[in-house]
Each structure stands twice: as C-alpha cells, then as structure tokens.
Amino acid sequence: MKCSFCGSDIKRGTGQVYAKVDGTVLNFCSRRCMVYTLAGKDSRKFKWVKNQ
C-alpha cells in the first residue's frame, strides 16, 4: 500500500486512513501527509515526495 500523498510504502498497521465524504478512502504514511492533502497541497512541491 502506498501513501496517497508522497507515494511511500505504508507498513501494515501504521499510517493514517482518511475516508472522504464521497466514500473514497485515502491512505497516508504519516499525519503530515494527511494534513497536507486535506489542505490541498501539491505533492510535487515537496522534495521528500517520491511520486513526482
């Protein structure tokens, strides 16, 4: 499973899960990625993001 924001692998039992109103479930490796996504940040602007 990969982080919806930065593309890092998420180990089972770790990370954050967020369910959107429309039913889409997003998985994040960290709270940071979840917060950035919900804030509408563009992942390509962050150096530590892998999936650019």
Q: Please give the residue ranges that form the binding site for Zn ion (CB under 5 A).
A: 3, 5-6, 8, 29, 33
**E-assigned strands of 3-52?**
16-19, 25-28
Q: What is the C-alpha separation between 12 and 35, in angstroms, rounded?
A: 20
Q: How far is the CB of 38 from Zn ion (least distance, A)?
A: 13
| Choice between 14 and 22, CB closer to Zn ion | 14
Q: How far is the CB of 35 from Zn ion (least distance, A)?
A: 11
Cα distances from 10 to residues 1, 22, 40, in angstroms, run: 6, 23, 21
Q: How far is the CB of 36 from Zn ion (least distance, A)?
A: 8
